[in-house]
Structure 1
């Protein structure tokens, strides 16, 4: 390792360790490397512009953020919750099931775990704690666990970023996330059922079955969004970026005109919040592009791939090793940083070992999402703590059963690529 690279890494970890925003830590450490190697910071501008010019798909990120915020602000979340309560609220642990099913449905609109947790998740936590039937730590824990499904089922902002660094088809990545997302929902509902019977949670007052058709019709326009999105991409009507624009426009149309639940003032605040969120993601993306240039200059990915091949590592051992590493990193880094900075290091090794990049991408994104709820630093735990004021210790105490079943599901998905790749292959994927 060269002195310049060592200085870059030390600067990065010191700044991140003292609490500096990760985007600033990445930028400053990259500039330190460029200065020490005599390249000057001007090269950073060129790398940044080249990266953005060749990454039209990045436009999908702010558009999906707008769509999620519009969905949260209108009455769409309430209508979806009403539908979920009528559908699964009648079973023991009903509101826990509602929590998971709502995340499955809402994930088809937001593509963001934080958006799910802070938006519809906050509403369900209030419902669960208000009823007095669920400990507040349990309500927060199942909300955090179910929010991890958000970026797995399309649309998915992390998968857009993975497509950027891996040059993989975003359409096939989206398809690859559908079955794993449903699988994650199933294992969470199974664990909720077990815990509800073990703790003897009271049954909710069931919504009469005759109410289900009315609530379905009420929520149907919102339920159409994932279908419109997927048809646009896979029907050849739109590119993924254009589909993101359609999603944002449809959410706006639905909230403002169809449901009449969005004022101009609320829309202004939505656009401001979306701009802030997009800018935060954009800073990390910009820093990651420059840091990836640093990594490529040192030829680290090729050296890592050659080293792994020299050790004669099997694809299964490699996948398991990467999974453990990403889970550990997920305790201290956000998913965006891991996908943009860490995962590109392993892509050449994946190609050399014959690991399918769509399979690897879906498993890696799930890994990053589970990292969001892994104590002690899981970001989603802090988000829910911030929006609900439920003590972090109570959330961490209740999160473990859900974390375990998600890790089991992750292990199965990593070891059985056919689960992830079945749907993409149905639509013509040759991998």
Structure 2
């Protein structure tokens, strides 16, 4: 009898509103996996989902040879990559942040600002080509308005402050171009600060130029993204910034000891202290130590094999060998592992300081089972329901927390 009542409520979105407008929610842990998934699909479609980081712009750049006049068929379902319009709509994704990614090599060759401009134009072209389906977004209100209109929002963030080169006025230049966050470094130390992937410790944290950049971002209301930086750089940022700070695509270091790219408990606590956010990323090497170790061994072997055979990763012969060699060497990682990372942050600092930052199109074939592309967000929501999270909790994780933090950053600027 109890199960019949539960299923009846599920069919009505599992909400019962009394005359006093109090909301009563079902215990989702009592449902079967299939029942939870159906509810998760409904939640995904009715809730705004913001994802802090996707590398679609660079994929478009690669497919079009950097030609801003070429049209990438984003509107159709693709066999490659992790997101297109069809899969986004299937998964309930509403606002994937487009990463304007600047490879560290541009710090040596120059042209960072020009590449950023090109990638921004490519994102804008998607919105101008399909205005009935896609719209740019520069604020939480833009995303909410687009959601009400049934439009997919494309907010933008720069990944790697090398884009501003050595000119602090470029921070405002890119803000005026629609950029709403900036990841301070990427694979190598830059003029702003030190990268977690670089052992050089060029500045010993945030540079003097970097401190001015952080202050300028505060002034403008640009979100400071602390993914990719060293711990020393992070704590310098935390000291300088008057606004909340966000890790737009990082996971929990406790699960991957020694991997500085993920955030430590101490960093998570400091982010929460500043009313910021950790947006959990989906790559297997970020989620699971065994997977990370196996992936590192595979990468080392392939690097040597390519060198011996005078091939690159892009060569067809290399692609065939890579696929065959790697097929059975990586441990199994499931979408539930992403839910574990989210749950860890919640237990450490509370429900208000965690969100989603997939890194789709940026972590290759390392994504966990059940979370391979943008159509699969309901699988993650179902795992959270299984852990006992309420609909209100999930709404916070999907967008509510991010909107609160973003609006506070805007308020600091005002």
Larger strand proportion, structure 1 or 2? Answer: 2
- Greater RCO between the two (CA within 8 Å, min separation 6)? 1
TM-score range, shorter chain: under 0.3
TM-score normalised according to structure 2 size: 0.26
